[in-house]
Amino acid sequence: MKQKIDIPVTMRDGVTLSTDIRIPDGPGPFPAIVTRTPYNNSGFAPNDPYLLSGYVSVLQDCRGRFDSEGRFAPFLEAEDGADTLAWVKAQPWCDGRIGMLGNSYCATCQLTAAWMRPPGLLAITPGIMGCDLFKDMVYYNGVLNLSMAFTWGAGVSGRSGQSHETSDLQNLFWHLPLADMDETAGFRMPHFRECLAHPVHDRYWTASSVEQHYGEFNVPALHSGGWYDFFSEGTTRNFQGIRAKGGPLARASQRLVMGPWPHGLGGRLTGQLDFGEPATMAIDTLYKRWLDRWVKGIDNGVDREPAVQIFMMGANEWRDETQWPPADARDMALFLASGGAANTLIGNGDLTPVKPAGGASLDRYTYNPANPAPTLGGGMYGFPNGPTDHAPLERRDDVLVYTGNRLEQPVTIAGYIKGVLYIESDCVDTDFVMRLCDVYPDGRSIILCDGIARTRFRDGLDQEVFMKPGTVYEIEIPMSVTANVFLPGHRIRVEVTSSCFPRFARNLNTGEPSATGTRMQLAHQTVWHSASRPSRIVLPILP
């Protein structure tokens, strides 16, 4: 092996990025695997399988990180990626064939480079990455993904990695206003403040949106993610969008693998559940097979394997599909019903396939932002995450619980989950959270997925329209994605509440700007479920 360490690669604006290169022994030239990272390019394993099998390994620090010049501008990586690949392709040790590797932010570096269509880029492997910062990443459906935005943002706020060893995160998350949370914590986080300064979906967000560029992709891509990853929805939408709108090669060569995993792929233990040996996957081996096929041209059959592989939780087995969502999925609505007291798991909330036929029927609760319903597992950034028993949460009076009958036959779902609520509040703005749970025979209520809607965005994420207190509104709540078999003896459950803290920043209910608001107000919430106001969850049912 020959190595070239801390090589300055010049970008179009003159900034140089530190690049480490390892070249296999032999006459060359060789194909190259490029990883661009904000997390330090110094980590290299001597037994790297790509180097050992005849690839040049290229590891680069992103702009403004570690040994690279410039200012770090998170998620704006397209030009640097294209310039780097052009430089790699022109080197005498490269034969002109390039693939890209890396999960999470490193997947952003792949996707943004790929939509530039740089010559020589033949395949990418973007794992666990969203499609739009305001829709499913730093924000989710317009609500600040607080635990991720602050914790991750602080970690990359300096040129080197920043530590939280002495940060009191549990208290920091409560800090108001959000706009000076970084200063209170002792960090300087310009990107965090920029995100807060753009509270609607505007040009600031579209500049980094993968979703905006689906039509510009024309490269084979292996997308991988987990049902309990906070980027689960974006991972599936990237696959779906590029396959539908990309160039001919992209449309024919997208692949999706989704397992029962959090923001780390391939294991059998997630949260409080063991999904068994079938959940164990050597995802790195799959990446290499993908790159061998498309970069080296090795006929290893990976391109003839199913386009979509999804892990069916509950049954704990893999299922092959030709597309996402599955072609044979059919929407089924389950309607919320009660005797007017769905509060807590011992209330009278019901979940039924029968649409309400009667008149006014409703449930009420009070949401207090000073005492929000906490996050329990799910797509939390950090721990605990993953499948977690929500029975403790369902003892709170500000959580409505709607539970179906015990199942006699299995019910299989896979796809995007959606909630529709008819709501009323005495505040001009508030939040509603809907959550889908699988209730086990022993009483455990295991979270599958959830979502949140901020009522000011009910007419679109690009505008804020406040409510008239006492008026009934229909709102739609995207609840991300999942794939699960509800087994006989289990029950399907839906929770409705108004907070999931600290995963999502609290709505203070006053209508003040989210970044600078400090005044809290109780919100007296009403959820309607009647013939004319049929609140419901919509599940994609598989035969």
For residue range 276-318, list pLDDT tens digits in order: 999 999 999 999 999 999 999 999 999 999 999 999 999 999 9
Q: How many CB atoms lie within 10 A of CB 50?
A: 24
Indicate if 191 belongs to the active site: no
Closest CA to 104 of 77, 123, 86, 144: 77
Instruction: Please give the pLDDT value at position 163.
Output: 79
pLDDT band for position 330 (cuts 50, 70, 90): very high
Q: What does the alpha-carbon distance between residue 146 and residue 153 come to, in Å, rounded to a whole number?
A: 10
Residue 148, both tokens = 């991720």
Report, as an integer, the average pLDDT of 58-86: 97
What is the distance between the alpha carbons of residues 512 and 282, in angstroms, rounded to a whole number? 48
Calculate mean pLDDT across residues 212-226.
98
Average pLDDT, the chain: 96
Write out the DSSP string of 513-538. Answer: -TTT------EEEEEE-SSSS--EEE
Over residues 101-126, the pLDDT tens digits come to 999 999 999 999 999 999 999 999 99
Cα Rg of the chain, angstroms: 24
CB 102 within 8 A of CB 36: yes
**Residue 49 φ/ψ, nearest 5 degrees:** -65, -25
pLDDT value for 167? 83
3-state secondary structure of 456: helix
pLDDT at res. 341: 97
Report the 3 state secondary structure along 143-192: EECHHHHHHHHHHCCCCCCCCCCCCCHHHHCCCCCHHHHHHHHCCCCHHH
142-181 confidence digits (pLDDT tens):
999 999 999 999 999 988 888 787 888 889 999 999 999 9
Please tell me the CATH code under which domain 2-132+210-321 is placed. Answer: 3.40.50.1820
For the domain 330-542, what is the CATH code? 2.60.120.260
Specify whether 263 is catalytic: yes
Q: What integer pLDDT is reported at residue 277 of this predicted model? A: 97
Q: For residue 308, what are the CA distances in angstroms to 202, 229, 243, 299, 377?
A: 33, 18, 12, 20, 26
What is the percent of the chain with per-residue pLDDT over 70, rounded to a whole number?
Answer: 100
| pLDDT single digits (tens) 375-389 | 999 999 987 899 999
Q: What's residue 430's pLDDT?
A: 98
pLDDT at 45 over 90: no
Asked if 438 is an active-site residue, the reply is no
Q: Residues 57, 68, 104, 480: which is the catalytic one?
A: 104
- pLDDT of amino acid 428: 98
Residue given tokens 């050597």 in the structure block: 282
Q: Which of 67, 229, 350, 450 is catalytic?
A: 229
Three-class SS state of 79: helix
pLDDT at 511 over 80: yes
Q: What is the pTM of this model?
A: 0.96
Mean pLDDT of 47-73: 96
pLDDT for the residue 360: 79
pLDDT of residue 122: 98
Which position has the token pair 């949460």? 393
Measured CA to CA, the distance from residue 451 to residue 326 in angstroms comes to 21
Query: Domain locations in the chain?
Result: 2-132+210-321, 143-200, 330-542
- DSSP category for residue 47: T
- In this structure, the number of other CB atoms found within 10 A of the CB of residue 41 comes to 24
pLDDT-derived band of residue 47, with 50, 70 and 90 as boundaries? confident
Q: State the catalytic residue, choosing from 263, 390, 490, 529.
A: 263
- What pLDDT, on the 0 to 100 scale, is given for residue 378? 96
pLDDT of residue 46 exceeding 80, the answer is no
